[in-house]
Amino acid sequence: GQNIDQPTEMTATEGAIVQINCTYQTSGFNGLFWYQQHAGEAPTFLSYNVLDGLEEKGRFSSFLSRSKGYSYLLLKELQMKDSASYLCAVEGFQKLVFGTGTRLLVSP
């Protein structure tokens, strides 16, 4: 079966750091994606992890532990425009399975 868990909602203040966790149990694992989706818009790609460890890309970093079925997305120096939903997605056997997403609210 496929099960991907993320917190439903998180809040943080501008300039802070926030970590969004994702745990998964899937049949087959080829990689893990993080997408950002602003309200009313299409999801856009943020990061991809296939090996254990941390991938850094500017203010965003993503970590993966395959043995623990765990990933997190780290957002630094938060900006108001970072208010969005963040979707964790696992590529299993021939399909990409998404979590329900974490809605992040950034306040001044």
**What residue ranges bind another protein (CB under 8 A)?**
30-31, 33, 35, 41-45, 48, 50, 87, 89, 91-101
Q: Residue 13 Cβ, how far from another protein at the closest point, in Å? A: 26
Structure tokens, 20: 């969004």
Q: Residue 94 Cβ, how far from another protein at the closest point, in Å? A: 5
Select 13 or 100, whichever has its Cβ closest to another protein: 100
Select 78 or 88, whichever has its Cβ closest to another protein: 88
E strands present in 6-108: 9-13, 18-25, 31-37, 44-49, 53-57, 60-65, 70-75, 84-91, 96-98, 102-107
Q: Residue 54 Cβ, how far from another protein at the closest point, in Å? A: 18
Instruction: For strands 31-37 and 9-13, give the pairing.
Output: unpaired
